[in-house]
Amino acid sequence: MRANSLQALGVGLIGTGFMGRAHALAFHNARTTFDLPFNLKLVALADADAARAQQCADSWGFERSHADWQQLINDPAVHLVAITTPNLLHFPMAMAAIEAGKAVYCEKPLAVSLEQAREMETAARDAGVVTRVGYNYQHNPMIGLAKQMIENGELGRIVSFQGEFCEDFMGDALSPWSWRCEEAHAGGALADLGSHLLAMARFLLGDIEAVCADAQTVHPQRPATRGSDEQRAISIDDQTYALLRFANGARGTFGSSWLKHGYKNHLSFEIGGTEGTLAFDQERLNELRLYRPGPPGRDGFQRILAGPQQPGYAAFCPAPGHQLGYNELKTLEVVELIQALGGHGTNGTDFAEAMEVERLATAIRIAAKEMRWVSVSDV
Ligand code: NAD
C-alpha cells in the first residue's frame, strides 16, 4: 500500500539538540526504509529558542515550529510527542502529552526521581497511551542475537554479568558545567550513561534483586562555561560502581563513568554461562564475541559479524559486514514504536519498564549513600 494512502500519524518533536537531530533523522529513515502501518508526517518542532526551532523545522522537514512546547502538544495534528529535552522537562512534557491523549516517545532517563517515574507510568497506563523511552542500544540486531542466544541456552546457565558504560567527555576537570551536572536533573554518570547499562542488563537477563554500590564526585567544581573563571560546585557522581544480584541467580558488576579517558561510547558487557561467554562493546556495535570451549590448544573467542540474517539489518543493507551505526539503532527504535502504535509492538521499553530502570538506579544511589546492600523491591 502506498504510504500516502495510509492513515496519517503526526509527529511533534520537542528539542533540537543532540537527540532532537537523532530523532528527526530516525523518523525520516523509518519512513524511507520500512513499510510502516501509518503515513508518518513531521508536523511540528518545538524548541525554547524560537529562531533555532524555525531553522531546524525548515531544514529537517517539519511543517511548523513553536517556541512554546505546550502549543505543539495541543496541536490536533500531532498524535505522537517525542521529547528530547533535558531530563527535568521530561515529566511536565510527558504528563501534558498523556493528558492530551497522545503517544509519548521520551528520551532516557525517564524522570529525575522514582516518584516522578511512578506518576508518569500510572498516568500513561490509566490513559492507555503507547509510550516508549530512548534505550536505543537494545535495538541493535546484535543485541537481539545476544538475547536469543541467552534464551536458547547457548551459553548454558547464566552465572555472571560484567557491564561497564564509560565515556570521557567529562574527563578533563576543565570540561564545563552543564544541566547534566545538576542533581535536579538526575545528573551524573549513573543517570546519563549507567541508566542505559541497567536497561540493557534487565533486557538481557531480567530482574535484579539486590545491589551494593559506591559513587564518587571526582571533580567537585567545574567552570560555568568553557574557559570561564567562574566555578560551579558539583555534587553528582562522576563515577558509580555496583555489585548486582540477579533474580536468575547470576552475580554481576556494573560501572558507569564519564571520566574514563580513551572511551567514547563504551557500553560493554561480558555475560558468563556454564557453557560459554558472550561479549559486546558498543564501540564495535556490529560484533559479538562468543567463546565456547573447544579442543585444548585450538579454542578461543569467535567474532560474529552483523549481517542480513539478523532482523532489522537487512532493511538498511543486503550484505553482511557493511555495518550499522548509532542512527540506525535509533531508526529501529522508532520503527518498533510505530509498529506498536499499529498494534504490533514487540520489545520496546515502555514507561513501565523505564520506571523499573529508575527503581534500580535509585536502589544503587541508596546503596552508595548508605554503604550497604539494598533489596530493589524495598525501593
Ligand atoms: P541538548 O542540550 O543537546 O538538547 C536539549 C534541547 O532541548 C535543546 O535544543 C534545548 O534548546 C531544548 N530545550 C531546553 N529547554 C526547552 C524548553 N523549555 N522547551 C523546548 N525545548 C527546550 O541535550 P541532549 O544531549 O539532546 O539530551 C536531551 C535528552 O536526550 C536527555 O534526556 C538525554 O539524557 C537524552 N540523550 C539520550 C541519548 C541516547 O542515546 N538515547 C543520547 C544523548 C542524550
Pocket of ligand 1 (CB under 6 A): 14-20, 46-49, 69, 84-87, 89, 107-108, 134, 136, 192
Read off the CATH number of the domain in which 45 is found: 3.40.50.720
Indicate which residue's Cα is closest to atom 18 of ligand 1: 48
**Pair 313, 165 in one domain:** yes
Give distance in angstroms: CA of 84 to centre of ligand 1. 4
Indicate which residue's Cα is closest to atom 42 of ligand 1: 19
Torsions phi, psi of 45, nearest 5?
Answer: -130, 130
Indicate which residue's Cα is closest to atom 43 of ligand 1: 19
Structural domains counted in the chain: 2
Give distance in angstroms: CA of 316 to centre of ligand 1. 27
Does residue 342 lie within any of the structural domains? no
Give the position of cell 509527529. Answer: 11
Give distance in angstroms: CA of 15 to centre of ligand 1. 6
Other beta carbons within 10 angstroms of residue 96's beta carbon come to 17
Parallel, antiparallel, or unpaired: how do β-strands 103-106 and 231-233 relate? unpaired
**Pair 71, 89 in one domain:** yes
Indicate which residue's Cα is closest to atom 8 of ligand 1: 17
What are 61-69's contacts with CB under 8 Å, separation 24+?
61/24, 61/28, 62/13, 62/24, 69/14, 69/93
Nearest atom in ligand 1 to 134's CA: 41
Q: What pLDDT shows up at residue 207? A: 98
Indicate which residue's Cα is closest to atom 39 of ligand 1: 134
Give distance in angstroms: CA of 286 to centre of ligand 1. 27
Last residue of a domain, one of 109, 136, 163: 136
Q: What pLDDT shows up at residue 347? A: 78
Give distance in angstroms: CA of 18 to centre of ligand 1. 7
Nearest to 286 by CA among 155, 154, 165, 143: 143
Q: What is the pLDDT along the chain (379 residues), one digit of tens a residue?
A: 445 567 999 999 999 999 999 999 999 999 999 999 999 999 999 999 999 999 999 999 999 999 999 999 999 999 999 999 999 999 999 999 999 999 999 999 999 999 999 999 999 999 999 999 999 999 999 999 999 999 999 999 999 999 999 999 999 999 999 999 998 888 899 999 999 999 999 999 999 999 999 999 999 999 999 999 999 999 999 999 999 999 999 999 999 999 999 999 999 999 999 999 999 999 999 999 999 999 999 999 999 999 999 989 999 999 999 999 999 999 999 999 999 999 987 779 999 999 999 999 999 999 999 999 999 999 9
Which of 14, 19, 25, 358 is the best mutation target for the ligand 1 pocket, counting ligand atoms within 8 Å of the beta carbon and taking the most?
19
Q: What pLDDT shows up at residue 141? A: 97
Give distance in angstroms: CA of 168 to centre of ligand 1. 19
Would you state the cell numbers that stand for residue 211, as one nine-digit string?
A: 545491589
Half-sphere exposure of 122 (CA within 13 A, CB side): 6
Does residue 93 lie within any of the structural domains? yes
Which of 13, 83, 85 is the best mutation target for the ligand 1 pocket, counting ligand atoms within 8 Å of the beta carbon and taking the most?
85
**Pair 210, 169 in one domain:** yes
Read off the CATH number of the domain in which 221 is found: 3.30.360.10
Does residue 92 lie within any of the structural domains? yes
Torsions phi, psi of 157, nearest 5?
Answer: -80, 135
Indicate which residue's Cα is closest to atom 19 of ligand 1: 48
Give distance in angstroms: CA of 253 to centre of ligand 1. 29
Cβ 135 vs Cβ 226: under 8 Å: no
Measured distance CA(241)–CA(378) in Å, rounded:
20
Does residue 343 lie within any of the structural domains? no
**Pair 99, 147 in one domain:** no
What residue numbers bound the domain in which 29 lies?
3-136
Measured distance CA(108)–CA(224) in Å, rounded:
25
**Pair 234, 89 in one domain:** no
Write down the pTM of the prediction.
0.96
Indicate which residue's Cα is closest to atom 16 of ligand 1: 48
Nearest atom in ligand 1 to 179's CA: 2
How deeply is 4 buried, as exposed, middle or buried, from its count of CB atoms within 10 A (0-12, 13-18, 19+)?
Answer: exposed
**Pair 163, 294 in one domain:** yes
Q: What pLDDT shows up at residue 187? A: 82
**Pair 190, 61 in one domain:** no
Would you state the cell numbers that stand for residue 276, as one nine-digit string?
A: 560459554
Give distance in angstroms: CA of 345 to centre of ligand 1. 26
Last residue of a domain, one of 84, 110, 136: 136
Q: What pLDDT shows up at residue 1? A: 41
Nearest atom in ligand 1 to 191's CA: 34
**Pair 125, 147 in one domain:** no
**Pair 239, 354 in one domain:** yes
Q: What is the 3-state secondary structure (H, E, C) of the chain?
A: CCHHHCCEEEEEEECCCHHHHHHHHHHHHHHHHCCCCCEEEEEEEECCCHHHHHHHHHHHCCCEEECCHHHHHHCCCCCEEEECCCHHHHHHHHHHHHHCCCEEEECCCCCCCHHHHHHHHHHHHHHCCCEEECCHHHHCHHHHHHHHHHHCCCCCCEEEEEEEEECCCCCCCCCCCCHHHCHHHCCCHHHHHHHHHHHHHHHHHCCEEEEEEEEECCCCEEECCCCCCCEEECCCCCEEEEEEEECCCCEEEEEEECCCCCCCCEEEEEEEECCEEEEEEHHHCCEEEEECCCCCCCCCCEEEECCCCCCCCCCCCCCCCCCCCHHHHHHHHHHHHHHHHCCCCCCCCCHHHHHHHHHHHHHHHHHHHHCCEEEHHHC
Measured distance CA(146)–CA(204) in Å, rounded:
8
Parallel, antiparallel, or unpaired: how do β-strands 266-273 and 131-133 relate? unpaired
Give distance in angstroms: CA of 19 to centre of ligand 1. 6
Does residue 86 lie within any of the structural domains? yes
Give distance in angstroms: CA of 193 to centre of ligand 1. 14
Cβ 324 vs Cβ 315: under 8 Å: no
Indicate which residue's Cα is closest to atom 4 of ligand 1: 17
Indicate which residue's Cα is closest to atom 2 of ligand 1: 17
**Pair 60, 87 in one domain:** yes
Does residue 241 lie within any of the structural domains? yes
Does residue 104 lie within any of the structural domains? yes
Nearest to 240 by CA among 137, 138, 165, 170: 165
Q: What pLDDT shows up at residue 5? A: 65
**Pair 202, 163 in one domain:** yes
Torsions phi, psi of 183, nearest 5?
Answer: -60, -35
**Pair 184, 205 in one domain:** yes
Give distance in angstroms: CA of 336 to centre of ligand 1. 22
